[in-house]
């Protein structure tokens, strides 16, 4: 932590305190999504969220994130929802359809809900790229998803929704 109770990223040390978060992750590619989810949870706790203030659940695949994230956002009992998935390009157009559908679905939830939904879906060409985003050479995306959720929860508090 930096001085005066702020982390080096500029967020106050206790900025998640009193906030409730939901993390929904896919079982598909769980070797990646488990790590992203664990990292997101650790960051939320580091910033002051309590264990009881973090709800976690899983869905089979990325497309199911739309229903789950929307259901959680509409409940109104979370300050932010983090949707975590990993879609790896294969040899068919399936990758394109899933990525497009998930992106549009989660964007629509964000446009219509008062609860922010963080897009935590890795869309990669191969597993090496996914690994690199789980604390490797491309950073720790799980942590970044959590920091985004904290910032969005603060935003909603600031505008009084």
pLDDT tens column, 13-40: 688 999 999 999 999 999 999 999 999 9
Structurally, the chain folds into a number of domains equal to 1
pTM: 0.93
* Distance of alpha carbon 120 from alpha carbon 59, whole angstroms: 14
66: domain range? 20-80+94-125+135-159
Residue 12, in any domain of the structure? no
Tell me the torsion sign for CA atoms 143, 30, 34, 15: positive
Q: Which SS3 state, helix, strand or coil, does residue 29 take?
A: coil
**Domain of residue 41, CATH code:** 3.40.50.960
pLDDT tens for 65-79 read 999 999 999 999 999
Active site residue 94: yes
> Which residue shows structure tokens 């990292």?
39
* Distance of alpha carbon 6 from alpha carbon 54, whole angstroms: 22
Residue 86, in any domain of the structure? no
* Distance of alpha carbon 119 from alpha carbon 80, whole angstroms: 11
Residue 103, in any domain of the structure? yes
Residue 1, in any domain of the structure? no
The active-site residue, picked from 10, 17, 57, 94, is 94
């Amino acid at each position: 932590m930096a001085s005066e109770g702020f982390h080096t990223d500029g967020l106050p040390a206790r900025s998640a305190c009193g906030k409730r978060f939901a993390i929904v992750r896919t079982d598909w590619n769980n070797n990646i999504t488990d790590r992203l989810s664990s990292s997101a949870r650790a960051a939320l706790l580091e910033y002051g969220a309590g264990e009881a203030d973090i709800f976690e659940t899983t869905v089979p695949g990325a497309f199911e994130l739309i229903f789950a994230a929307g259901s959680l956002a509409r409940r109104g009992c979370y300050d932010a929802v983090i949707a975590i998935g990993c879609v790896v390009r294969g040899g068919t157009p399936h990758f394109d359809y899933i990525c497009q559908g998930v992106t549009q679905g989660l964007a629509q939830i964000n446009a219509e809900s008062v609860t922010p939904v963080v897009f935590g879906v890795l869309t990669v060409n191969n597993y090496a790229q996914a690994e690199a985003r789980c604390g490797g050479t491309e950073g720790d995306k799980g942590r970044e998803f959590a920091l985004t959720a904290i910032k969005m929860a603060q935003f909603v508090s600031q505008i009084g929704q």
